[in-house]
Amino acid sequence: MQMIAEITNQEMLENNVVISAEEVSVFYSDKQALNSVSLDIPENQITSLIGPSGCGKSTFLRCLNRMNDTVEGCRVEGLITLEGQDIYAPSVDEVLLRAKVGMVFQKPNPFPKSIYENVAYGPRIHGLARNKDELDDIVLTSLEKAGLLNEVRDRLNSTGTSLSGGQQQRLCIARALAVQPDIILMDEPCSALDPIATAKVEELIEELRINYTIIIVTHSMQQAARISQKTAFFHLGEIVEVGDTEQLFTSPSDSRTQGYITGRFG
């Protein structure tokens, strides 16, 4: 256990910061949802955002691929950089940004189309495949990476919504992977799943860390502790504490973190 923690620490030092948020504040019309949040996201690690409901962790996540743009009356202040580039700069196209920063949602939301079409849609709109063979290749590789291929290999043409909840969620992950993102945002990906499906998805997330940077919002502190290397605790629109997961869960420095992880509120 000790050794793993050491490796994780070492990794953290070696890893580059891929996304950096500086003093980010978000307003929904007049209501402030985030207040001056600063956070660095290390490359090829799992960063989990925890905190009670309404603390702003999902809002923060949705800032990272500008999904908040689609919300009426939402205003983002502060600076968020992806590999040094300000993602809210006028020159940045949010469509390209979202291709680079994929997203998996709380409720599995496959398109009501075939499994194949679900995965093929992203590559198709971004022109990632020149022909049918290449597209097939991308679809199969993505399903493979999402650990779903063996379960659906012979029914790629049945609808995505006919799968079980856990399979649907892994299909959504495969769909996000097919666009070849660098970063994957996950908004409580397991909250609608049963424990077995959750275990599978968690396993998958841990595998994906090798190639992707993952930021996950979760309500489950056990989940955060199990899979993430870095954890940020949000409370009332602010980051209370951020640090190495192991350390944050064993010896939190803030009394509010202590209160939350021991179940006194949240």
Partner 1 sequence: MTDISDLKSRDEWVSEGRKARLGKRHRAERRFKILGLGAILIALSMLATLLVSIGSKGYSAFVQTRFELTVTLDEAVIHPNGDSSVPAVRGASYGTLIRKALRAEFPDVKARRELRSLFGIVSKGASRQLRTMVMENPAVIGETISVWLVASDDMDMFNKGYIPRNVVEADRRIKDNEIKWFDQLAAKGATQKVFNWGFFSSGDSREPEIAGIWGAIVGSFYTILITFAIAFPIGVMSAIYLEEFAPKNRLTDIIEVNINNLAAVPSIVFGLLGVGLFLNVAHFPRSASVVGGLTLALMTLPIIIISARTAIRAVPDSIRNAALGLGASRQQTAFHHVLPLSMPGILTGTIIGLSQALGETAPLLMIGMVAFIVDIPGNVTDPATVLPVQIFLWADSPERAFVEKTSGAILVLLAFLVFMNALAVLLRRKFERRW
CB atoms within 10 A of CB 170: 28
Angle between helices 165-178 and 115-126 (to 10 degrees): 20
Per-residue binding letters, 43-82, with partner 1 (x by CB under 8 A): ----------------------x-x--x-x----------
- 140 Cβ contact partners less than 8 Å away, ≥ 6 residues apart: 149
Q: Using the rule CB under 8 A, give the single segment among 94-102, 218-226, 243-251, 255-263 that binds partner 1.
A: 94-102
Select from 6, 22, 38, 96 the one that contacts partner 1 (CB under 8 A). Answer: 96
In sequence order, what DSSP letters do the residues of 110-157 get, joined into one string?
Answer: --SSBHHHHHHHHHHHHT--SSHHHHHHHHHHHHHHTT-HHHHGGGTT
Q: Check: CB of residue 106 under 8 Å from CB of residue 57.
A: no
Select from 14, 16, 54, 107 the one that contacts partner 1 (CB under 8 A). Answer: 107
Based on the shown chain and the rule CB under 8 A, indicate whether residue 175 belongs to the binding site for partner 1.
yes
Which of 48, 169 has the CB closer to partner 1? 169
Reading across the β-sheet that carries 230-235, which strands appear in turn?
A: 101-104, 183-187, 213-217, 46-50, 230-235, 238-244
Min dist. Cβ of residue 58 to partner 1 (A): 12
Select from 179, 216, 227, 240 the one that contacts partner 1 (CB under 8 A). Answer: 179
Residue pointed to by tokens 């998805």: 201
Select from 18, 39, 103, 242 the one that contacts partner 1 (CB under 8 A). Answer: 103
Select from 110, 166, 189, 237 the one that contacts partner 1 (CB under 8 A). Answer: 110
Based on the shown chain and the rule CB under 8 A, indicate whether residue 122 belongs to the binding site for partner 1.
yes
The encoded tokens of residue 130 equal 């020149």
What is the binding site for partner 1 (CB under 8 A)? 65, 67, 70, 72, 95-99, 102-105, 107, 109-112, 121-122, 125-126, 172, 175-176, 179
